[in-house]
A and B are shown apart, each in its own frame.
Chain A
Amino acid sequence: MTRALLVFGVLAIFPLTMQAMDSLFYVSLASRILIYAIAATSLNLVLGYGGMVSFGHAAFFGAGAFVVGILAVEGVRSAWIAWPVAMAVAALAALVIGALSLRTRGVYFIMITLAFAQMMYYIFVSLKTYGGDDGLSMPARSTLGMGANLRNDLAWYYLVLAILAAALYGLHRLTRSRFGRVIDAIRENEARAEAIGFPVFRYKLACFVIAGAVGGLAGALIANQSNYVSPSLLHWIQSGTLMIMVILGGVGTLWGGLIGAAVLLGLEHLIADYRIGWLAALAPNYQDHAGLAVGAVLLAIVLVAPEGIAGLFRRRRHA
């Protein structure tokens, strides 16, 4: 509890200090990180708590983004309509994909979720009316009413922060509920959970759908973040990136998604924005190759911190 207050306290003060230092760009970067944190957290529910290694989470993230983008182009700009629709479409997609994929196990589950996500990717790429390959530009951010102006980067940041807080609180409550305990049991020993009499398939599907809906919400936010929806949001590299965030931050930990998103995206920007003198003297263009450093850090983490960054701060697995 104190940890949560501390983290969100810092996150709440952050944009004010940035404003004082006149570097609002970082507020925009921070909102992007928080949105990815929501997406990664939703994946962590499936992957970490549910033990279902889904390699197609970008399908829900991208679908949510496209729903908001398409609705905006068609004139529906109210967040109260567009965002729930984005969540509903993502949830429906998760229901269909989950119902078919959850019949398989292990590596086959990984590959079949990937296959479905790639199908969604190609379907959205072929929507020529809505940008196709080039992606879709939104006329403006969604509107919230109640006097909130989401075009203001500070207001936008606080809205995203509030949604992340809600998502994390929801995850916290969910994992401690009866539902969460059953999901735990299924991950630890599916056959036993089945034998006790739990409808395992339905529990896993419900878990998958909840994560899909939250992933869709994150997609709705990322579309608003840049007023642009790219089909690359659905590409398998995106699924991979979300997965990396979860593994990096800590599989099956409350803060894993946030830590992973912050470290991965933060690292990329840190390398691009801060010029290190001696490194630049050695290789003048090193900042164009952030991927190299990110890759090296990921490898280092695999070899040094097998349980992710959150694992370094924790004595044993969550009880």
Chain B
Amino acid sequence: MSVILFLEQALNGVQFGLMLFLLAAGLTLVFGIMDMINLAHGSLYMIGAYFMASFVQMTGSFWLGLPLALIATAVLGAALEMSLLRRLYGRDHLTQVLATFAVILIANEAVRIAWGSQPIMLNPPAGLTGPVALPGGLQYASYRLLIIGVGIAVALALFLLVTKTKVGMLVRAGASNREMATAMGVDIKRLFTAVFAVGAALCALAGAMLGPILAVQVGMGENILILAFVVIVIGGIGSIRGAFVGSLLVGIVDTGGRAFLPMLFSAFLPPQLASAAGPAVASVLIYVLMAGVLYFRPQGLFPARG
């Protein structure tokens, strides 16, 4: 196992983890503040990616399309919150699952009607299509480096927003004890619409940034949604810091497992068994991680509720 390969996979893991964080951050706040299971979070990710595809085509520029896609998805998210999700806060988890599952079905069909069933490939912005040389002789895709940069910048901004500003204080108060925050005069309703809109924009950012790497297609939200749930359960529901640590953990474990487990297995297993067991164990790894975390720390790594 060479150092270069190891570095490359580590970077891939961080990149995937940061994108997961964009989804998990919104999800964990929705979950933490309103105690609401929102399965439709993945649909916002999908719709964000489709908006991106259309706006890039319309404007002819990646950098013009991106903010438009974020704004459009944020507006859509706020509209969804005010029209439907708001009615679900007081209801039990089962009802929330039913209603947001319905939203997934509707969103998938709406996307199929608007954009068709064929997957769309996005292109990375001009000038970022090739690899760059990193110290140590590693050739790494420049677009992936951009994703890492954007992910770190957003995570930092979000962290500052949540820990250093008044709005962030209200969000934290809401996540740790909603009734108490309401009693102290916080307008949870309006705060929450805002949180939801920001969460939607972050979803769109993840969808738009991952568009050139993964295909933009119907159903893309369902798989990543489960990963985001795994992340927030590992990190502790309602905690931004937990979502960040959990995302990186899941991103690195998942990417690393897929890259290195098959190699590891072929070292001491017969090739036929290794080629079957490697990928299987690699895909299962993050769920094992989650089960392990829940077993030893049932509230996640950084519980938000004291």
Contacts and interface: CB of A to CB of B under 8 A. Distances in A.
Main secondary structure of the interface of A (DSSP, over half): helix
A73 interface: no
A288 B112 CA distance: 10
B276 interface: yes
Contact of B109 (A110, A127, A247, A289): A289
Contact of B106 (A114, A118, A295): A295
Interface stretch (A151-159, A172-180, A237-245): A237-245
Given A119-B288, A247-B98, A302-B95, A111 B230 contact: yes
B37 interface: yes
Contacts of A128: 276
Contact of B226 (A47, A106, A112, A236): A236
Contact of A104 (B108, B110, B298): B298
A126 B276 contact: yes
A291 B294 contact: no
Contacts, number: 121
A112 B105 contact: no
Q: Taking each of A118, A237, A288, A303, which has the highest tally of chain B beta carbons within 10 Å of its own beta carbon? A: A118
Contacts of B62: none
B94 A247 contact: yes
Given A298-B98, A299-B102, A111 B229 contact: yes
Contact of B105 (A55, A106, A108, A295): A295
Interface string B82-124: 0010011001011101110111111011101100000000000
B283 interface: yes
A107 interface: yes
Q: Taking each of A110, A302, A303, which has the highest tally of chain B beta carbons within 10 Å of its own beta carbon? A: A302
Interface in A89-136: 100, 103-108, 110-112, 114-116, 118-119, 122-123, 125-129
A103 to B, nearest CB: 7
A306 interface: yes
B299 to A, nearest CB: 8
Interface in B51-109: 84, 87-88, 91, 93-95, 97-99, 101-106, 108-109
B105 A291 contact: yes
A295 B102 contact: yes
A121 B106 CA distance: 25
A247 B102 contact: no
Nearest to A292: B109
A244 B287 CA distance: 24
A294 interface: yes
A58 B5 CA distance: 38
B291 interface: yes
A296 B106 contact: yes
Given A107-B37, A126-B280, A244 B290 contact: no
Contacts of A123: 280, 284
Contacts of A129: 276
Contacts of B31: 107
B237 interface: yes
B233 interface: yes
A108 B110 contact: no
Contact of A298 (B101, B222, B276, B291): B101
A247 B102 CA distance: 12
A220 interface: no
A292 B106 contact: yes
Contacts of B226: 114, 118, 236
A79 interface: no
B262 to A, nearest CB: 11
Contacts of B222: 236-237
A237 B103 CA distance: 13
A319 to B, nearest CB: 21
A251 interface: yes
A103 B298 CA distance: 9
Contacts of B110: 292
Contact of B279 (A126, A243, A292): A126
Nearest to A243: B97
B268 interface: no
B118 to A, nearest CB: 14
A85 interface: no
B109 A295 contact: yes
A112 B106 contact: no
A78 B229 CA distance: 41
Interface in B260-289: 276-277, 279-280, 283-284, 287-288
Contact of B101 (A104, A112, A240): A240
A289 B93 CA distance: 27
A251 B97 CA distance: 13
A295 B276 CA distance: 38
Contacts of A34: none
Interface string B20-33: 00000000000100
B105 A115 contact: no
Interface string A280-314: 00000000111110111011011100100000000
Given A53-B94, A119-B288, A299 B84 contact: yes
Interface of B: 31, 37, 39, 84, 87-88, 91, 93-95, 97-99, 101-106, 108-110, 112-113, 222, 226, 229-230, 233, 237, 276-277, 279-280, 283-284, 287-288, 290-291, 294-295, 298
Which 4 pairs across A and B sit closest by C-beta, in order of nearness? A126-B280, A295-B105, A298-B102, A295-B106
10 contacts: A53-B94, A103-B298, A116-B287, A119-B284, A119-B287, A251-B94, A292-B106, A295-B102, A296-B102, A298-B101
